[in-house]
A = this chain, B = another copy of it.
Amino acid sequence: MSQRAAEFRELTRERCLELLAESTVGRVAWTAPDGPQVLPVSYAYSAGEIVFRTSPAGVLAQLARRQRVAFEIDEIDLSGRTAWSVQVRGSAQSLVGSQRVLDLWRNDTVVPWAGGSRTLFIAISPTAITGRYLRAWS
């Protein structure tokens, strides 16, 4: 097996926040009653939180009750062999009956792809944000 040359570095917090603000799709992971779970969501980064909408009847509604989660965004360039990812760890809970929900709803800030009655707003409040950049061997 040949030796691999690679560049690997941590992203600054500022760059992580930029990438969170620019991206619109990420994956949320949590410990469900039946084990670890991970699902993609379309989200907005709003007031320092990751906000997404889901159906009260869906599996993501498990996150309405405050609990710890991990959230991840990444971009993998297979041809250029570069990649970055940002990891967020924190807690999720529903946004209910607040002025903020009304504002988010009115402004269409958080638009779920899936349509339907996605009336439940979930917000992830970060406790740690880290990121890394990788350029693989050529």
List 9 interface pairs A-B (beta carbons < 8 Å), by A numbering: A3-B115, A6-B114, A25-B76, A29-B38, A31-B36, A35-B68, A37-B87, A39-B72, A83-B113
Q: Given A1-B108, A36-B89, A76-B40, answer yes or no on A29-B70 (Cβ-Cβ < 8 Å).
A: yes
Q: State the majority secondary structure of interface residues on A.
A: strand
A residues contacting B by CB (< 8 A) are: 1, 3-6, 8, 24-25, 27-31, 35-40, 68-72, 74, 76, 78, 81, 83, 85, 87, 89, 105-106, 108, 112-116, 134, 136-137
Number of copies: 2
Chain B residue with Cβ nearest A91: B35
Contact B40 A74 (CB under 8 A): yes
Task: Say whether B72 contacts A40, CB under 8 Å.
Answer: yes
Counting chain B CB atoms within 10 Å of each CB, which of A27, A38, A71, A89 scores highest? Answer: A38
- Asked if A36 and B69 make an inter-chain contact with CB atoms under 8 angstroms apart, the answer reads yes
